[in-house]
Structure 1
Amino acid sequence: MDGTLLKPVIDFAEMRRRVGLMPDQGDILDVINRWPEAERARAYATIAEIEEQALRDMALMPGALELCGFLDQRGIPRGLITRNVRRSVQHFHDFLGLVPFKPAITRECEFPYKPSPAALQHIASSWGVEIGQVLMVGDSVQDDVVSGNRAGAITVLLDHAARRGPESFSGERRPTHVVGSLTDLQDLLETSYTLLPPPFQKATVLTTQD
């Protein structure tokens, strides 16, 4: 959600500092999950405190409501893969005031974290579509784009600076498209894709990320 559908309000560098991790110590959740139970509980309590403040500061990205409405009107399903917890996702859905993202996969689910393609593959399967009919949208090259490319989806990098094109990246980090906003994403979908709801075989469907 953060950085894609919601304005980023969490200082992740500060989160790492408060938990007790240096910048070069790897993925924060992977590292914490290897700690002894007491240390792990303390770290997750700190993260929960920071995330609770983020709920109070929640603000939608420009174009988020319009994009969701655009997809809903056409019967295009939209899913969510996030490192947030279920409580945060529920708060987000209440805040959004529209049809929820479904499925909404959180860090409390059994799937490995991005850039693993597992959660995205599950979403495609739950919708009854081929993975190549799914658009994976997110603001992280390493997590969102790599996850989507590994799964075999169409990938869209949300780059708010809008200074880079797909050719700026290589290998599995190269997105199919780069857009500068969710409004630009809607324009891309309208002009470059035929959007048909499942179970049509030519459908293109969308799942958005953190």
Structure 2
Amino acid sequence: MHLPLSRAFSASSFHPKSCSVLMSNPTRKARLRGVVFDMDGTLTVPVIDFAAMYRAVLGDPEYLRVRAENPSGIDILHHIESWDPDRQKKANEIIAEYERRGLDRLQIMPGTPELCTFLDSKKLRRGLITRNVKSAVDLFHQRFGILFSPALSREFRPYKPDPAPLLHICSSWDVQPNEVMMVGDSLKDDVACGKRAGAFTCLLDQTGRYDAPQFDSVDFKPDFKVSSLADIVPLLDAHFDLVP
């Protein structure tokens, strides 16, 4: 179980240049033994045009309808699961092509090496959960020389926002979910996965898009919100007992 947390949240209390923790006892630090990261848009610079990809898969009318019904974002992988096999195959081919283009432009997110060096200095575990394919994870490890273990890709089912991948990592580390933080740039995938598993969550929001009113009513709210990975180091130092 978590240390007691207040679930109250308002967009105005989370600013792109700041972070907050909603702990009812601020003098007592929670134990943290590991951090799990999303990849695309978190450890790597966003390069995939998701809106264009969704339009290519769904068509304009369906894309606009689905987007209106899902203010926190479209879950395209789950959306196409109910389609007939031929239509689903074509959709997956479109998604794979956009992902291949993204690999050609893969860039590490500023602050990633420094954050990983800090975690290493504290002997904290670091893992990765992405809805991208294993080849993308392998390329990330190879190109930037920073390893995350376990590193779970789309081939691990069920994928985010289901808590299963995060719970799998906790089990492999032999730690409790409330001793782990999930860091990602998506409310619907990363924050939802972390909260469902019982972990702490940190939302990376570089542009302040999640300050918009339509995100006030989402089901899962982050414990922290930051505008850069560099903000996470002082956040961890201030609010957690960092224990290997």
Q: Same fold (TM over 0.5)?
A: yes
One-letter amino acid matched to 1:153: A
> Are residues 1:108 and 2:155 paired?
yes
1:71 aligns with 2:109: no
Give the distance between the partners of 1:75 and 1:117, measured in 2 at CA.
25
Local SS of the residue matching 2:52 = helix
Q: 1:4 aligns with which of 42, 67, 74?
A: 42
Secondary structure of the 1:29 match is helix
Which one of 183, 187, 198 corresponds to residue 137 of structure 1? 183
Distance change (3 Å), C-alpha of 1:170 and 1:126 = farther
Q: For residue 19 of structure 2, what is the aligned residue in structure 1?
A: none
User: Which residue is 1:15 aligned to?
Assistant: 53
Maintained 8 Å contact 2:47/2:106: yes
Task: Show the counterpart of 1:208.
Answer: none
Distance 2:160 2:143 in 1: 25
- Compute the RMSD of aligned alpha carbons: 2.1
Is the contact between residue 154 and residue 176 of structure 1 (CA under 8 Å) also seen in structure 2?
yes
* Structure 1 residues 47 and 171: alpha-carbon distance in aligned structure 2, compared to 1, 3 A threshold: closer
Distance 2:237 2:142 in 1: 27
Q: Tell me, yes or no, if structure 1 residue 34 matches structure 2 residue 72.
A: no
Question: Do the aligned residues in 1 keep the contact of 2:156 with 2:165 (CA within 8 Å)?
Answer: no
The size of the alignment, in residue pairs, is 193
TM-score by length of 1: 0.83
Which stretches of structure 1, 4 residues or longer, exceed 4 Å deviation after superposition? 162-165, 168-172
Tell me which residue corresponds to 2:194.
Answer: 148
Is the counterpart of residue 175 in structure 1 residue 213 in structure 2? no
Quick one: distance in 1 between partners of 2:152 and 2:230?
Answer: 24
Q: Distance in 1 between matches of 2:44 and 2:79?
A: 26
Comparing 7-16 with 40-49, greater Cα deviation is found at: 40-49
Which residue number in structure 2 is paired with residue 88 of structure 1? 136
Deviations 1:133-153 (A, max 9, x none): 000111112221122112111
Deviation larger for 70-79 or 83-92:
70-79
Q: Partners of 1:163 and 1:108 in 2: how far apart?
A: 29
Structure 1 residues 169-205: Cα deviation after superposition (integer angstroms, max 9, x where no partner): 56742211111110001121123222121xxxxxxxx
For 1:30 and 1:131, the matched residues in 2 are separated by: 25
Residue 125 and residue 170 in structure 1: after superposition, are their counterparts in 2 closer, same or farther (change >3 A)?
A: farther
Which residue identity is paired with 1:58?
Answer: L
- Point out the more displaced range, 129-138 or 184-193: 184-193
User: Against the structure 1 CA distance between its residues 14 and 163, is the aligned structure 2 distance closer, same or farther, given a 3 Å change threshold?
Assistant: closer
Q: Deviations over 1:55-85 (max 9, x none)?
A: 1111111101111121123221111111100
> How far off its partner does 1:94 sit?
1.0
1:188 aligns with 2:214: no
Structure 2 gap segments, 5+ residues each? 1-38, 67-73
Percent of matched pairs sharing the same residue: 48
Worse overlay, 58-67 or 154-163: 154-163
| Contact 2:191–2:222, Cα closer than 8 Å, also in 1 | yes
Higher relative contact order (CA 8 A, sep 6+): 2
